[in-house]
A and B are shown apart, each in its own frame.
Chain A
Amino acid sequence: MTPHSAYQPYEPARRPGGRPEEIPAFRILIHRQFKHHYAELASRVGIQQAQQFWDHISQTPGKPSPVASITILRGKAGKPLADGWSRTHHYELTGAARADYQYCHDYRTSNEGDPHPVVAILTLNYSSH
């Protein structure tokens, strides 16, 4: 049996600068295939840009951002996942980091669940063009 230790080297750090000033209006989901990309976000783009992305998607998804270029993807890639979802927004965090997301104001995890606003990050990638 492994002895219990209070030392937990991999415990997530708190958000630098403290918690967001506003309570997130949207729950944030990510496609499981890109979860490991998200874990690298702050180290890849810097904590400030990572936080700006989070603040954008958790508060004002779909709105213009003063710090990032946002484009609606075209063709089938830009179509809503289902009724009630937005089109796909392509958010360029930096020249070498970008994310695609959709949002829904009344997402239900089940037929009995309460509707709540969510953002789904569909893709996140760091490759340069």
Chain B
Amino acid sequence: MSSGDVIFQSTDLAQRRTEFLEAARSGMARLRDKDGTSLVMVPESHLQLLLELRKWSSVSTRLERYLSRPDFKPTVQSLGDLAWLRVFDCEDLREFADELNDAIIAADSDNDLAVLEQCLHAWKATARQLEDPLRRSVLLTRGIALDLVEIDPPSVSPEV
């Protein structure tokens, strides 16, 4: 019998407190309040996982909807709270949406947000680099005709 199969009563919080907490620690403790409301206690990390999965699943759905519009332009106005994505064109946004979707599925399967956090960290780091016009110009230039010069190991300039 799993911990969620036992339904505690509100009076059990005093009489069976240790058993209730143990059930919560091991995944989920269910409690029926006096008015019949069903309450659940879970580890905070599990709740955090569910909240993040809900949030980013919603983002993923919104992005899919935006990208399905032929006239969609990634602007601050059109992206709202996702405005940090405005530096990307639709092709990059499609790639982000695909990777985000995969990361959500993996995080759900792993019961761990690590893969989702890595995905978001990488895309946000990229967005920050593209905000600057010079960095953007260099990072989006393909071909090895870049203006490169050789450098020496770092050194401390002498006091003059």
B-contacting residues of A (Cβ < 8 Å)?
A: 9-16, 19-20, 27-35, 38-39, 41-43, 47, 50-51, 53-54, 58, 71-79, 81-82, 85, 88, 90, 98, 100, 107, 120-123, 125, 127, 129
A-contacting residues of B (Cβ < 8 Å)?
A: 88-89, 91-92, 95-96, 99, 121-123, 125-126, 128-130, 132, 134-136, 138-144, 146-158, 160
Contact B122 A120 (CB under 8 A): no
Min CB gap A73→B, angstroms: 4
Contact B140 A77 (CB under 8 A): yes
Contact B157 A13 (CB under 8 A): yes
- Supposing A29-B148, A75-B88, A77-B130 touch, asked if A15 and B154 sit within 8 A by C-beta, the answer is yes
Contact B160 A71 (CB under 8 A): no
Report which residue of A35, A85, A122 has the largest number of chain B beta carbons within 10 angstroms of its beta carbon: A122
New A-B pairs, 10, CB < 8 Å, besides A42-B157, A77-B139, A127-B132: A10-B157, A15-B155, A31-B138, A31-B146, A38-B151, A42-B155, A73-B125, A74-B96, A81-B141, A81-B142
